[in-house]
Amino acid sequence: MARMDSYIAKLVAYGIEKGLVPEEERIYTTNLLLEALGQDSYEEPKEPLGDLELEEILQGLLEEAVAAGRIEDTITSRDLLDTRLMGALTPRPKQVIDQFYRHYEKSPQEATDFYYRFSQATDYIRSYRVKKDWKWKVDSPYGLIDITVNLSKPEKDPKAIAAARNAAQSSYPKCQLCMENEGYAGRMNHPARQNHRVIPIEIQGSRWGFQYSPYVYYNEHCIVFNGQHIPMKIDRAAFAKLFDFIKLFPHYFLGSNADLPIVGGSILSHDHFQGGNYTFAMAEAKIEKTFVIPGFEDVEAGIVHWPLSVIRIRAKESERLVELGTYILEKWRGYTDEAAFVFAETEGEPHNTITPIARMRDGVYELDLTLRNNITTEEYPLGVYHPHQELHHIKKENIGLIEVMGLAVLPSRLKAEMEELAFCLVNGEEIRARETLCKHGDWVEEFRGNYTFTRENVMDILKEEIGKVFVRVLEDAGVYKCTQEGREAFERFLQVL
> For the segment 386-402, what is each residue's pLDDT rounded down to a tens digit?
999 999 999 988 899 99
Distance between start and end Cα atoms, the chain: 73
β-partners of residue 304 are 287
Q: Residue 90 carries which DSSP code?
A: S
Q: Residue 463 carries which DSSP code?
A: H
Is residue 239 scored above 60 in pLDDT? yes
Is residue 23 scored above 60 in pLDDT? yes
Each residue's pLDDT tens digit, 106-165: 999 999 999 999 999 999 999 999 998 999 999 999 999 999 998 876 555 555 545 555
Q: What is the mean pLDDT of the chain?
A: 94
CA distance 91 to 122: 9
Whole-structure pTM value: 0.93
- pLDDT band at 51; cut points 50, 70, 90: confident
List the one residue out of 487, 497, 489, 492 whose CA is nearest residue 303. 487
189-198, 264-273, 435-444, 447-456: the lowest-pLDDT one: 264-273
Kindly give the residue spans of alpha helices, DSSP state H, lying in 386-451: 401-404, 413-427, 441-447
Is residue 167 scored above 70 in pLDDT? no
45-49, 204-208, 291-295: the lowest-pLDDT one: 45-49
Is residue 362 scored above 90 in pLDDT? yes
CA distance 371 to 324: 14
List the one residue out of 183, 157, 177, 194 whose CA is nearest residue 81. 194
Q: Return the pLDDT at 225.
A: 98
Q: Return the pLDDT at 170.
A: 75
